[in-house]
Chains A and B, each alone.
Chain A
Amino acid sequence: MLKSSRDSAGRTQLAFEDIEDLARGAAFLGAGGGGDPYIGRLMAEHAVREFGMPEIISVDDLDADTNVFPVAMVGAPTVMVEKGVSGADVDLSVNRLAAIIGKKPDAITPIEIGGINSMLPIVAAARLGLPLVDCDGMGRAFPEIQMVTFNVYGVSATPAVIVNEHLDTVIVETCGDAKRAEDLIRVAAIQMGLSVMFSGYPLNGQQVKDYGVKGTLSLALNIGRAIRRGRSEGNPFESLLAYLRSTEYFNRCKVLFDGKVTDVMRETTKGFAMGHCEIRNMDDESDSMHIQFQNENLLAKRNGKTVAVVPDLISIVDGETADPITVEALRYGQRVKVIGTSAAPVMRTAEALAVFGPEQFGLDEKFLPIEELHDDI
């Protein structure tokens, strides 16, 4: 946790050097999706250099009526690696949302800790001079806007604002169904170039306390640190798994496979990076793993048998360094390991599975927790 540098008001300070660890940990939680963590890191470092590091505030220290604004990038990771952000688009999305709801933002929160969307709130908070809440709405990454705990437990996704690099702005207001908001925003985002800034789900402090996945910024930071320290000590996997097992959410975890990427099929379609990859055991040709993704890795099968399924996390990492590899960076010939990790309990309830369980992605699978799929977890 970040407690070491907390002051009396419960605020903590992130060091500039922490951004790299945070980006690495967030990429792991991105489960293949959420965009290139390196691009996110550069954006955050660029903004922090110019505007200073935002303060981190713990969920426990929020007042019930604090106005908390989520910020995220919506689009396809395959597009983000080409287009990045421009900066003014981030400010505009928050400021427009504030004007529409008539409330001044008191804090920014990540809504998706996995991938680049852990970094973008740092950019927004730094640019706007606001604190950042140690929390998100997934504890991982997901491709669609309705797939967050705030929606599961009844917070409206709208009004929502999206802005592109031309500063074209689209405001979405719906009857309250977040899936409809997703559908409308996706169509607009495609037209706007598939790399747009989003601000929606305006929250108050009480809603964040009740429905947020708490402490995930700290968790991502510590995951990133565990990988880095493990690497310098010679075994990043041991260090990573040991840390995950010590956490409240991610304590069921396992290396699911070790092999070489032998096929990647990836297409930017319907507003997402869709496809699959095949990983083959280098010592046994007949042993392979098939992973299906929609921005994020959704389903891992070993020789036809399911070994992990969404919302549990399926992360592909470098076979030596344990650096997370995103879907758009997967390449023929890479040596990788696949790690399966339990999602936060709040993500595995019946209500939650009705929003982001396997069926919601069109998969013909029932959700089975990773600890039930394996005897040794």
Chain B
Amino acid sequence: MRIGVDVGGTNTDAVLMDGRTVMATHKAPTSANISGGIVNAISEVLTSAAISPAEIEAVMIGTTQFTNAFVERRELSRVGVLRLALPATRGLPPMVNWPADFAETIGDQIHLIKGGYEYDGRCISPLDEREIARVAKKLSAAGIDAIAISGVFSPVNGDMEARAAEIVQQELPDASITLSSKIGRIGLLERENAGIMNASLNAFASKVISSFRQALTQLNITAPFFISQNDGTLMKATFVEKYPVLTFASGPTNSMRGAAYLSSVEDALVADIGGTTTDIGMLVKGFPRESSVPVDIGGVRTNFRMPDILALGLGGGSVVSPTQPITIGPRSVGFRLTEKARVFGGDTLTVTDIAVAAGYADIGQRKNVRELSGEFIRSAVSKVHSMLVDGIDRIKTSSEPVPLILVGGGAILIDRDIDGASEVIVPEHAGVANAIGASIAQVGGEVDKIYSYDEIGREAAIEDATQQAIEEAIAAGAKADTVETIDFEEVPLSYVPGGAVRVRIKTAGELETC
């Protein structure tokens, strides 16, 4: 039996799964220390299904904590940035394209240093080790212990980044150091951005992961726990402490996978309606359609693999103007819905109040919205629906109607057919689709290896790497017939004779127990 948990900004959801069967679900408010909410949610599902902690084989956690922290600029460490590149790249220094307010949190300790490689492996300049030591001293004096190191063409040769890390570590033995070559691919700015984001989150990651651990210990759960990452696969908790940035955007992936699972529909639109926003995405053969253009997170450009999601300012807490012409959102009462909304005795008119007044949602006190005129309610309801229709139209690939799956707590806000959707499906357990998505996240295998194409040929090399990656996924618990290649990259190493190419293949498949 497995437990899936979704730690969101507002709620912490837990589901207990036996194979493919949902045994119990629970929604609890996310607590300030995180672990409290997890303990509440998990103990609730264990109790209601009368299952002992010893029967749990694995815990899968999906969390938007790191994305939210970055977007909201909180819990971020100041970061010392070292780019090994001079005299190249001076025209575009690190963080050149970041929103200005990051300077207050992440800081302005940016250092360009002689070093870096040409595309063919030659040095642009020899690494300036003395300068690195000098910079490290300066960072140490400034009390900075999160370091991001990037270098030109480090995916081709990571030696200089590694050497720079050694030197920094001597000066700052306790620092957490992120090397860009470990996270990103070719494209200096995006790779470096990912490295800086990661370094800024390292300290928070340790805190969050230890909260997870503490929660499970308190619950007497000794099963291993995994965290879902942005490509929809799971990673070990110890890995997340080092690379929290890899969890970015795992939330929408989980909710869309959960929607596919709950509805048994593989090709559909999914709208995840929360308190403040509605995330709309497209499921293609059970997986979210990926964005093929670089995605901004909190205004910072990255080149992660991410689902293509449209976020609308429409949720249960979205504020509705009390007079015509009606406007809705993007302002929302958010997690304070239960004190602010009219049906809960508050003084703010929200989308939830409209749904209650119209009679298709039954929460809070309906009498509190009795004074709204029939005409006002009708036009507000039609506005809510037209916003969703509009969002769906923007994410659709063709004019052909496709099914629409509604998930999230706000699914109750929609009560009629939606133009452009062949049918509207609200599956059972729609409110906890996220946690279900986490519980069925895939396990992956990865191979990163150098081949000589001159010796064995490209096809044989790719075949060999793919086979190894598939075996690795199976060894990690994936069902053999579900394993597929999800990412593939070649970096020719022109400086190594014999047509050397670095081949990176990632595979993923469903867990055997699902």
Contact = CB atoms under 8 A, between A and B. Distances in A.
Contact of A86 (B91, B97, B394, B490): B91
Q: What are the 5 tightest A-B residue pairs by CB atom distance, in nearest-first order?
A: A334-B292, A86-B90, A165-B88, A85-B91, A332-B488
B294 A38 contact: yes
Interface stretch (B20-28, B183-191, B251-259): B183-191
B328 to A, nearest CB: 19
Contacts of B331: none
A231 to B, nearest CB: 8
A269 B499 CA distance: 11
Contacts of A81: 186-188
A336 B88 contact: no
16 contacts: A39-B92, A79-B118, A82-B119, A82-B153, A82-B187, A83-B188, A84-B88, A86-B90, A266-B492, A268-B492, A269-B494, A321-B293, A328-B186, A332-B487, A332-B488, A333-B290
Contacts of A39: 92, 189
Contact of B393 (A82, A85, A87, A234): A234
A46 B494 contact: no
A91 B241 CA distance: 46
Nearest to B124: A193
Contacts of A325: 292-293
A115 B294 CA distance: 17
A11 interface: no
B486 interface: yes
B512 to A, nearest CB: 25
A364 B239 CA distance: 51
A331 interface: yes
A84 B91 contact: yes
Interface residues of B, number: 41
A87 B489 CA distance: 32
A86 B187 contact: no
B152 A268 contact: no
A332 B489 contact: yes
Contacts of A335: 289-290, 292, 397
A33 to B, nearest CB: 16
A2 to B, nearest CB: 26
B91 A43 contact: yes
B346 interface: no
Contacts of A86: 87-91
Interface of B: 85, 87-92, 96-97, 118-120, 124, 152-153, 186-189, 284, 289-290, 292-294, 301, 305, 308, 393-395, 397, 458, 485-490, 492, 494
Contacts of B489: 331-332
Classify chain A's interface size. Answer: 35 or more
B308 A320 contact: yes
Interface string A41-73: 011001000000000000000000000000000
Contact of A320 (B88, B118, B395): B395
A82 B186 contact: yes
Interface of A: 36, 38-39, 42-43, 46, 76, 78-79, 81-88, 165-167, 193-195, 234, 264-269, 282, 318-321, 323, 325, 328-329, 331-336
A43 B91 CA distance: 7
B473 to A, nearest CB: 17
A268 B91 contact: no
A166 B123 CA distance: 12
Nearest to B301: A38
Contacts of B284: 282
Contact of A42 (B96, B308, B494): B96
Contact of B92 (A84, A88, A193): A84
Nearest to B395: A320
Contacts of A87: 90-91
B288 to A, nearest CB: 12
Contacts of B490: 264-266
Contacts of A42: 92, 96-97, 189
B88 A267 contact: no
Contacts of A265: 458, 490
B152 to A, nearest CB: 5
A189 to B, nearest CB: 11
B186 A46 contact: no
A82 B188 contact: yes
Nearest to B501: A267
A284 to B, nearest CB: 15
